[in-house]
């Protein structure tokens, strides 16, 4: 309750407020309602609340309860979810090049259009095409391959494909993430993992990759990556985000490429870079 009251006071003072990861947990099941009402939006790795959220905050504080996150929800952020694939699972997807054609979105729909497909239908439509699993919604909606490279399991680096199908991972608020390693294990093409450049993002990508026969990571090209690190170093919240997450992940899961090189970089600069900084 103390965190909710602190959020209320900062929102009263500033009119807008970026909540920390701990404050997001304190919001609990109030956050989906704030999102539906348009009082919260995801911005550069954090949830931003606006002044119209105050009455709902006051209501929750008056009730005197703030439900903590479940163990499952906490584990999902670190890529340690152990659920089974639910029957009838559906996924949000959009594509580029032959990917848009395969999904039936070209030429009738705008480039940013996406559709929801049953998982089995999606795997059939996208057979042989690279699948790009994107962590965050805004990055999924505005994803573009310019300036991105593919980091392979053998340590090689190559250009991003022009023909691909994008999948939205789910964020636990709008839609619950699937156990993606199981969901995509039978795909007849490569799975590319586009996650935040931070300890939690690498941990989630490693968890998905453990169940896949063919995978690679999506990352900004080296010069852009290092420019993003320098930018993040000037932001205390990005340094704090790295420290909070680094305490909660097991570095042993990053022992092999392509995770090892990125983990070495992140450990050296000690900052987090949300994917919205380079995917939108």
pLDDT in tens, 35-91: 767 788 766 667 888 888 888 888 888 877 544 444 344 434 444 445 567 777 889
Across the range 125-132, mean pLDDT stands at: 95
Whether residue 173 is predicted with pLDDT greater than 80 in this model: the reply is no
What is the model's pLDDT at position 23?
84
Q: Is 90 left (phi over 0), alpha (psi -120 to 50) or beta?
A: beta
Choose between 116 and 218: higher pLDDT: 218
pLDDT of residue 159: 96
Which residue would you say has higher pLDDT here, 30 or 231? 231
Segment 139-155 shows an average pLDDT of 92
> Which residues have a Cβ under 8 Å from the Cβ of 226 and sit 6 or more positions away?
none
Least confident of 2-11, 153-162, 193-202: 2-11
- Read off the tokens for 90: 């559906």
- Write out the DSSP string of 119-145: HHHHHHHTTTS-EEEESSHHHHHH---
Mean pLDDT of the region 165-184: 78
Q: For position 70, what pLDDT does the model report?
A: 46
Q: What is the CA radius of gyration of the chain?
A: 19
46-50 and 40-43 strand pairing? antiparallel
| pLDDT score at 266 | 96
Supply the pLDDT for residue 168.
93
**Mean of the per-residue pLDDT values of the chain:** 85
Percent of the chain with pLDDT over 70: 88
pTM of full prediction above 0.85: no
Give the pLDDT score at 171. Answer: 60
User: How many residues would you count in the chain?
Assistant: 280
Rounded to an integer, the average pLDDT of 229-238 is 95
């Amino acid at each position: 309750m103390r965190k909710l009251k602190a959020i209320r006071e900062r929102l009263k003072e500033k009119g807008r407020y970026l909540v920390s990861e701990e404050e997001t947990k304190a919001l609990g099941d109030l956050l989906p309602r704030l999102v539906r009402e348009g009082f919260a939006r995801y911005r550069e790795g954090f949830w931003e609340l606006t002044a119209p959220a105050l009455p709902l905050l006051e209501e929750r504080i008056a009730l005197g309860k703030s439900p903590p996150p479940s163990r499952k929800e906490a584990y999902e952020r670190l890529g340690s979810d152990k659920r089974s694939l639910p029957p009838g699972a559906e996924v949000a997807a959009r594509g580029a090049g032959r990917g848009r054609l395969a999904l039936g979105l070209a030429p009738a729909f705008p480039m940013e259009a996406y559709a929801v497909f049953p998982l089995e239908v999606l795997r059939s439509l996208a057979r042989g095409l690279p699948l790009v699993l994107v962590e965050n919604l805004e990055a999924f909606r505005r994803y573009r391959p310019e300036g991105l490279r593919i980091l392979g399991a053998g340590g090689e680096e190559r250009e991003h494909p022009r023909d691909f199908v994008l999948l939205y991972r789910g964020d636990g608020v709008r839609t619950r993430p699937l156990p993606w390693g199981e969901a995509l294990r039978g795909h007849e093409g490569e799975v590319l993992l586009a996650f935040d450049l931070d300890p939690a993002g690498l941990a989630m990508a490693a968890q998905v990759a453990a169940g896949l026969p063919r995978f690679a990571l999506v990352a900004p090209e080296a010069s852009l990556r290092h420019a993003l690190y320098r930018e993040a170093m000037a932001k205390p919240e990005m340094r704090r985000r790295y420290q909070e997450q680094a305490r909660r992940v097991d570095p042993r899961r990053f022992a092999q490429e392509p995770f090892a090189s990125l983990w070495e970089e992140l450990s050296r600069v000690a900052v987090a870079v949300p994917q919205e900084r380079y995917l939108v």
